[in-house]
Homo-oligomer: A and B are copies of this chain.
Amino acid sequence: MAQPSVSSYLRMQEVKRAMIEDSNPTNRVLDVLSFLAAHPAETFTLAEIARQVGLSTGSAHRVLTTMAKAQFLARDEKRRTYSLGVAMVAAGQAAIEKYRGVDIARREIAKLAAELDVQCSASTVTAGELMVLVKEGAPKSHMALTRVGERRPLIPPVGLCHVAWAGEAAIEAYIGKVDFYLSETVRKHLHDTFPLIRRRGYSISVTGPNAGHALQAMTLPIGRAPDAEYWTNLYELIGKIMPDEVQLFDLAGADETGIGHITAPVFAPDGTVAMQLVMIGMARKLGARDIEHYAERLCATAALITSEMHGRVPKG
């Protein structure tokens, strides 16, 4: 401690070491793309994007003009607003070549959403994270909890269908992430959830403020890893979730609360869950028969996509 210069040198090294794996300018670009992808219907001014993404107006100016010049963003000269550009369409189309199932899913859930007047989305799991790939259907009220491109950690109560067919070890690991924060009742409920999902072929939950809050707190930031506060806050909210918000066992018991979402699995050729279809925005006050009807339609769509992807439902 007698040599401040050495101390400060070490501190700098430490800081550098912490950032060495991340390129901030790169994350800025990805942040902008992610933000605009999450709000595809809207257009934004430079100042709005700068605020939302956490850039200074100066930096945002250069980043956005550069992206617009390359056609990755479209600029409306009259309104001075930005939105996703044609180069993103091109790059996205190219990416789809690698993820063939996605456009099949998009086509089918668009049909379903239009037909039943609900909102449908599809998500996948990569690197232990759940990402929303597609969303179709007019948004009702304030149910826009999921945005395209958003990522969430794969922990209860999200991604149940991704886990349900992944084997006992994966299920235990999944529960284990929040085990400590759950009441005995919910823990038991969660354990019983997976056999039920496999038997039914879909997952279902009721609406509730607790699950809603947890979902909102779950969105992962692009560049930086979530900090300790993120996890503390999240675990606390997850601890408050009610059993029915995780999984609705008795379909007749939803009269009052209303259905939060129904999700169904799309299987890949290797029998793993490739995508999870999510349906939200159903009418309230549904009877058990009505609910089953929605679920059956979602499962039928999931089965169709599975089939078109040459997917295979695992035995068991």
Contact = CB atoms under 8 A, between A and B. Distances in A.
Given A29-B30, A40-B97, A88-B91, 6 more contacts: A34-B87, A87-B131, A90-B149, A91-B92, A91-B148, A103-B103
Contact of A22 (B62, B134, B148, B222): B62
A132 interface: yes
B86 A133 contact: yes
- Most chain B Cβ neighbours within 10 Å, of A34, A37, A86, A94: A94
A269 B66 CA distance: 30
Total copies of the chain = 2
A84 B98 contact: yes
Interface residues of A, number: 62
Contacts of A62: 20-23, 26
Given A99-B89, A124-B86, A126-B71, A94 B36 contact: yes
A129 interface: yes
A46 to B, nearest CB: 14
Contacts of A309: none
A89 B40 contact: no
Interface in A31-58: 33-34, 36-38, 40-41
A106 B95 CA distance: 13
A96 interface: yes
Contacts of A72: 30, 33
Interface string A61-73: 0110111011110
Given A30-B67, A70-B30, A91 B22 contact: no
Contact of A25 (B25, B70, B87): B25
Nearest to A33: B91
A8 B112 CA distance: 66
A162 interface: no
Contacts of A63: 23, 26
B86 A99 contact: yes
Given A26-B29, A27-B66, A151-B71, A93 B133 contact: yes
A132 B91 CA distance: 10
A73 to B, nearest CB: 10
Contact of A89 (B29, B102, B129): B102
A126 B91 contact: no
Contacts of A33: 72, 91
A127 interface: yes
